[in-house]
Amino acid sequence: MRKKENGLFGFSVGCLPKKRWDEVNHFLNKTGVKFTFGLNALVGKKNSKEDQLNWKGDWNPNNAISLMKYTVSKGYNIDSYELGNELCSEGVSARIDSVQYAKDITKLRHIINSLYPNATTRPKVMGPAGFYGKEWFDSFLQHVGPGVIDGVTHHIYNLGAGVDRDLISKVQDPYFLSKIAQTFKDVSTAVKEFTPWAGAWVGESGGAYNSGGKDVSHTFVNGFWYLDQLGMTSTFNHKVYCRQALIGGNYALLNTTSFIPNPDYYGALLWHRLMGTNVLSISHDSSPYLRTYAHCSKQGSGITLLLINMENSTSFDVSLVNDMNLYPEELASEGINTVNLMDSLKREEYHLTPKDGNIQSDVVLLNGTPLELTKSKEIPELKPKIVDASSSSPIKVAPHSIVFVQINNFNAPACAPPTK
């Protein structure tokens, strides 16, 4: 691939050699990650004479079939295939009609079913991998048949351009951050109505497009946007959130030269370890600059809270009330036990703050200690602060901080272990 002025996105047609494909899969096999691969959806299509951005005609899958046959012969594990990238709605440099895309992705499903007869090892089919537009998405989801897609992927870059001078203000503005909630709600509603067997995914999001913001996207302050996104999408029944990117650009989770984790890496790691898949309703009557999310804990039968304080000078003392306790007699008659939160003797707190109080620092502190790789380049142990909750002590959320709190004894029926 080389730069080409009249090429799509300014590049010529590229080639993925077998040797490189082998190297990619060997690397992924060592890491144990789940691998989604995007296929070229424009092969076989031609530009419309009336509209150069509009690509017409049927997808030619021959090249994709060759790749998949080779992949099967080598025993490589592909979690899912996506068809195209940002071709839906208005598109980005190219677009495909929604009905045609439904036809193309149905063809991909038939090919995958044929090449992978064992349903337990069969890759998922994902799409449309672009920005949400109601008319296009609704049309696509209505025309795609049952069981064709396993996940409805859409992209989010709600912070705008990475060069925006107001970027650092946007990631600290709860009113701005909440604007994207309608998109998450609309996607979730469309999936539930038209393809209820498929989950909603954020298939790509780096916050700010064009590689993110130079002094923002790889620093502590970006966690206000990122972890808020994880909480918000979970609230609107999204199953997966794919972050752009692990390595590359200003929004990388790892430093692009040293591979040392940036602050968002540790935020994502704590989310992964602590937050379960069941989302709980939580609310507060304080400042909108305090964001609150609650899930069943990933381990055990308690709950885990995510508290994000975007205020630069105001701290919050957070006390929890289980609203089940407001109606104990009614609940008891239904066979549900209630519990006072403070009967929990201990809770585990993970307080994330920036080094030297600088929200544009690349170094994050956990309970006051810098998170740094060990001498053997391993991820450090993420130790919680154990707090005695029996004295009704509130959770103290410092200015410009992010706090995870795990409460093992909290009585939430949705989090109770299944009865045998």
Residue ranges and CATH numbers for the domains of the chain are: 8-277 (3.20.20.80), 290-415 (2.60.40.1180)
SS3 102: helix
pLDDT over threshold 90, residue 227: yes
Catalytic residue ranges: 86, 204
pLDDT-derived band at 8 (thresholds 50, 70, 90) equals low
Q: What mean pLDDT comes out for the span 334-356?
A: 71
More confident residue, 265 or 391: 265
More confident residue, 63 or 325: 63
pLDDT-derived band at 391 (thresholds 50, 70, 90) equals low
Both tokens of 95, joined, read: 């677009």
Sequence-ordered alpha helix ranges (H) in 83-132:
98-115
User: CA-to-CA distance for 185 and 233, rounded, in angstroms?
Assistant: 9
pLDDT-derived band at 329 (thresholds 50, 70, 90) equals low
Would you report the helix, strand and coil content of the chain in percent, each value rounded to 5? 30, 25, 45
How many CA atoms are closer than 13 Å to the CA of 159, on its beta-carbon side?
32
User: CA-to-CA distance for 312 and 399, rounded, in angstroms?
Assistant: 5
pLDDT of residue 410: 84
Q: Are 112 and 67 in contact (CB under 8 A)?
A: no
Tell me the CA distances in angstroms from 376 to 197, 270, 380, 383, one per residue in order.
44, 21, 10, 19
pLDDT of residue 367: 99
pLDDT-derived band at 389 (thresholds 50, 70, 90) equals confident
Q: What mean pLDDT comes out for the span 262-276?
A: 99
DSSP output for 269-301: HHHHHHEEEEEE----SS-TTEEEEEEEESSSS
Of the candidate ranges 48-52, 147-151, 282-286, the one whose mean pLDDT is the lowest: 48-52
Give the predicted TM-score (pTM) of the model.
0.93
User: Sign of torsion, CA 157 161 163 166?
Assistant: negative
Phi and psi torsions of 333, nearest 5°: -65, -20
Task: Tell me the three-class secondary structure of 330-393, residue by residue.
Answer: HHHHCCCCCCCHHHCCEEEEEEEEEHHHCCCCCCEEECCEECCCCCCCCCCCCCCEEEECCCCC
Q: Tens digits of per-residue pLDDT, 125-152?
A: 999 999 999 999 999 999 999 999 999 9
